[in-house]
């Protein structure tokens, strides 16, 4: 009984609006209603895209943005001095006046963490740049020239992979000496192998594509084809890896800082901050726990972002 009733109702109610809205749009003369829809289009699409972004990813970008702001304009986030303290206020727990508490000579820990961001971030930036430049160069050479070059480069990469990251970094530090930049370079050399492998496999993949063959066929030289066609198309995977290595570099640099091979005191580098707080674990938990949580948050965010970059590929 219900089915014959249903059909006329649907035909009456649904058909006319669709006809009005779609048909004029198709022949190009856009009436006012369709214009409104078109104008709402980009905004609606943007809103939809925003809603489809997972909240965790938004949070990750937010964390990275805040930390970059700490590195660029630390004085906007805190009015206190990172190096000189107020001895009368030493070893106070977290409070409104001192968000992260104070250390053994009365320095505000939150201020030191904020001012430390520039050391950790620039260190990680140097490390990723070293790894990206060295690794991509090796990988692209191996992938595009092939043959003996490929074999030699990949054996070198095997060697870099065979030595545990920390030991490799320590070997380079013993060579270059202690310091923030040296520690960063040491960490960067450790990531060359990963960049070389990814960029090589990407170049090999892209080289087999038809458009690259076409570029060669229409008289393109190797270097020109590499720069114009192969590199841009190999970049996405490398960028995803760079984000991942950024988080790993922050971890590794803080480890070297903790061991005392990075920045000298009183630099508020994050690893060094935790090392200094170590003598007060029994009484002042905030000196180690809070800077460590900041490191965890930053690394977690970098990893989350790298995961999202990998997925868009």
Partner 1 sequence: MAYLARRTGQALIVLAIAFTATFVMLQALPGDAILIRFESPELGLSPEQIADIRAAYGADVPPLQQYLHTLIGFLQGDFGTSVQYGTPVRELIGSALPDTLPLAGLGFLVAVVLAVALAFLSTLAPFGWLRRVLRALPSVFVSVPVFWLGIVLIQVFSFQLRLVPVIGADPVQALILPVLTLAIPISAPLAQILARSIDEVQLSPFVAVVRAKGAGPARVLWRDVARNALLPAITIAGVLIGELIGGAVVTETVFGRAGIGRITEQAVANQDVAVLQAIVILAALVFVLVNLAVDLVYPILDPRLKRKAVAA
Q: Of residues 261, 268, 269, 276, which one binds partner 1 by CB under 8 A?
A: 261
CB of 5 to partner 1, least distance (A): 41
User: How many chain residues interact with partner 1 (CB under 8 A)?
Assistant: 43
Of residues 226 through 255, those in contact with partner 1 by CB under 8 A are: 247, 251, 254-255
Stretch that binds partner 1, among 45-53, 107-115, 127-135, 158-166 (CB under 8 A): 158-166
When the beta carbons of 19 and 260 are compared against partner 1, the nearer one is 260
CB of 188 to partner 1, least distance (A): 15
Of residues 174 through 213, those in contact with partner 1 by CB under 8 A are: 174-175, 177
Is 37 one of the binding residues for partner 1 (CB under 8 A)? no
The pattern of x and - marking residues 281 through 300 that bind partner 1 according to CB under 8 A reads xx--x--xx--x--xx--xx
Q: Of residues 179, 303, 308, 310, which one binds partner 1 by CB under 8 A?
A: 303
CB of 65 to partner 1, least distance (A): 18
CB of 153 to partner 1, least distance (A): 12
Is 156 one of the binding residues for partner 1 (CB under 8 A)? yes
Is 170 one of the binding residues for partner 1 (CB under 8 A)? yes
Query: What backbone torsions phi and psi does residue 108 show, to the nearest 5 degrees?
Result: -75, 120
Is 18 one of the binding residues for partner 1 (CB under 8 A)? no
Compute CA distances 267 → 30, 207, 279, whole Å. 64, 47, 18
**Residues contacting residue 114 through CB under 8 Å, at least 6 positions apart:** 70, 74, 77, 78, 82
Is 173 one of the binding residues for partner 1 (CB under 8 A)? yes
- Residues making contact with partner 1 (CB under 8 A): 155-156, 158-159, 161-168, 170-175, 177, 247, 251, 254-255, 258-261, 271, 274-275, 278, 281-282, 285, 288-289, 292, 295-296, 299-300, 303-304
């Amino acid at each position: 009984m219900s089915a014959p009733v249903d059909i006329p109702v649907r035909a009456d109610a649904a058909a006319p609006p669709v006809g009005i809205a779609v048909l004029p749009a198709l022949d190009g003369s856009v009436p006012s209603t369709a214009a409104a829809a078109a104008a709402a289009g980009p905004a609606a699409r943007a809103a939809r895209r925003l809603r489809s972004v997972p909240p965790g990813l938004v949070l990750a970008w937010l964390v990275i943005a805040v930390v970059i702001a700490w590195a660029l304009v630390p004085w906007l986030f805190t009015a206190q001095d990172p190096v000189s303290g107020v001895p009368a206020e030493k070893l106070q727990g977290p409070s409104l006046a001192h968000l992260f508490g104070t250390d053994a000579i009365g320095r505000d820990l939150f201020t030191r963490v904020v001012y430390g961001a520039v050391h950790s971030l620039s260190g990680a930036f140097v490390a990723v740049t070293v790894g990206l430049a060295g690794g991509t160069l090796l990988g692209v050479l191996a992938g595009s020239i092939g043959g003996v070059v490929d074999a030699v480069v990949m054996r070198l990469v095997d060697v870099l992979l065979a030595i545990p990251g920390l030991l490799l970094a320590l070997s380079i530090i013993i060579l270059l000496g202690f310091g923030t930049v040296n520690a960063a370079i040491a960490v960067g050399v450790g990531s060359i192998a990963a960049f070389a492998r990814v960029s090589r496999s990407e170049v090999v993949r892209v080289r087999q594509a038809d458009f690259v063959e076409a570029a060669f066929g229409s008289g393109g030289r190797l270097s020109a084809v590499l720069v114009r066609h192969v590199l841009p198309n190999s970049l996405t995977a490398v960028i995803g890896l760079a984000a991942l290595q950024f988080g790993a570099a922050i971890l590794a640099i803080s480890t070297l800082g903790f061991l005392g091979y990075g920045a000298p005191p009183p630099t508020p580098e994050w690893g060094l901050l935790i090392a200094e707080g170590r003598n007060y674990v029994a009484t002042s938990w905030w000196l180690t726990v809070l800077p460590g949580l900041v490191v965890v948050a930053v690394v977690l965010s970098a990893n989350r972002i790298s995961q999202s970059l990998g997925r868009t590929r």
